[in-house]
Every structure is written in structure tokens, then in C-alpha cells.
Amino acid sequence: MDRDRMKAAAAVAAVDEVVSGMVLGLGTGSTAAHAVREIGLRLEDGRLANVSGVPTSIATEELSRQVGIPLIDPGSASIDLAIDGADEIAPDLALTKGGGGALLREKVIAAAATRFAVISDDSKLVQALGSTFDIPVEIAQFGLGITLVALSELGSPQLRGGDDPFVSDNGNYIVDLAVAPIGVPAAFDRALQAIPGVLATGLFVGIAHVAYVAGAAGVRRIDALGSG
């Protein structure tokens, strides 16, 4: 099974948690797109009804409309379940996210959801965050140089896009922060958030309830401690 098929299998497993009447947080990226398409398919064939979504990016909004998922504004109803991918998944389900540049919106929706399900293939499993992927950090454009200096105290920051910076859907820049494997992600996240120019970090700690991780042998479910 190739990686894309693994991602699709994990997405199907997560969408099995969706029941009619739910409000869903819809993630961003290639893996989350599989879940969005699966939800649309189930709405079309009648397996689901009266489901609405809150997208985490303009791209996800466009895809959701294409597959027929009704959308609502954030805050207009409580979110029952958010489904999204991850760039790294630690054993306790702490995550690195933001490879697609939607980390601020993704974190807002994931944190607001009653339940947050992560989907991935098994290449994303790590023992410590920062081992295989730089930590994305969404920052204000104002004071860029000051923020980069502050971030350099915690790692090696690179402005995504370089001389032609990537701009998020929120009008902000993304910095990819190369770090040594992180021993205590919650503490590192607090240190990042203490920098005034930082608006959101790609460290999602204590937010995910379950992960559906696909590999050659099939999809494995990993529950966060205390979740089920």
C-alpha cells in the first residue's frame, strides 16, 4: 500500500466516527482532504445527513463546497469532532502540525472541538517532536526581524518562502524552526508563545484524543491517555 492509500485508509477510519447531525472541524492538507472527500461521499450516498463543517483554510473551504458539505462560520455552533492530519505524532499524541501553513486556524478549531481525531500514515510516528520536521510558527509580519532574533534563541528559524515569503490565509508569515528533539513539548510551546510576535505554534499538545495511523498491515487506532 502506497503512502497516499494509507492516508486515505486512515481518513476512512476517522470518518467512521462521524454520525448524522454532527458539526465537524475540517482540517487542511493532503491527508485531511481524504477525510473531506469521504464525508462528501457519505452525504451524497445517504450514509450521513445534516452534517456541517467548519473549514480550517480557504483550500479546505473550496474542497468542502465541491463535495457538497454545508459550511458554517466558526463559533456559530459547537464542534463535535475535528479531523486533521499531522506532520509528527509522539507516543502521547502530542503533534507537530503546520506543514500546509494553516496551523493557527487548525489549532483554533481542534482546541474548540469536543473530540479531535488525527489521521496519518505511520511515517509520521516519532519518539520526540522536532525529530523529523521543523516546528512551524505563525508570526506577525510586523517586527519580523525582532521575532526572528527571539526565535533564534530556541532554534534555527527560516522564514518560509525566503525572499518571497509564504503568507497564511490570515495574512501572517510562517517560520520553520529547526530544533533538537523536544523533551517537554508543553514547556517549549510556552516558550515560543511568550515571544510577542508569535501568533500560533505548530505544537499541538494535549489536544488530540485519538490517532488513526495507517501502515502496511492496516490502520491502527491510538488513544490519548484517558481518552477512548
Q: CA separation (Å) from 223 to 14, 115, 144, 208?
A: 12, 11, 39, 9
Interatomic CA distance for residues 121 and 203, integer angstroms: 19
Looking at the predicted structure, is the pLDDT value of residue 1 above 80? no
The 10 Å Cβ neighbour count of residue 165 is 14
- pLDDT band per the 50, 70, 90 thresholds, residue 227: low
**First-to-last CA distance in the chain?**
28
Q: What is the mean pLDDT of the chain?
A: 96
pLDDT tens digit string along 47-60? 999 999 999 999 99
The verdict on whether 138 is a catalytic residue reads no
pLDDT tens digit string along 119-129? 999 999 999 99
pLDDT tens digit string along 137-155? 999 999 999 999 999 999 9
- pLDDT band per the 50, 70, 90 thresholds, residue 226: low
- Is residue 173 a contact partner of residue 166, using CB atoms and an 8 Å limit? yes
The 10 Å Cβ neighbour count of residue 71 is 14
Rounded average pLDDT over 162-188: 97
Interatomic CA distance for residues 187 and 112, integer angstroms: 21
Q: Where are the domains of the chain?
A: 3-125+205-218, 135-201
pLDDT tens digit string along 59-76? 999 999 999 999 999 999
Predicted structure pTM score: 0.95
C-alpha cell of residue 97: 502540525
CATH 3.30.70.260 for domain 135-201, yes or no, is yes
Looking at the predicted structure, is the pLDDT value of residue 228 above 60? no
Identified catalytic residue from 62, 106, 138, 153: 106
The 10 Å Cβ neighbour count of residue 97 is 30
Interatomic CA distance for residues 168 and 170, integer angstroms: 5
> Considering only the top CATH level, what class is 3-125+205-218?
alpha beta
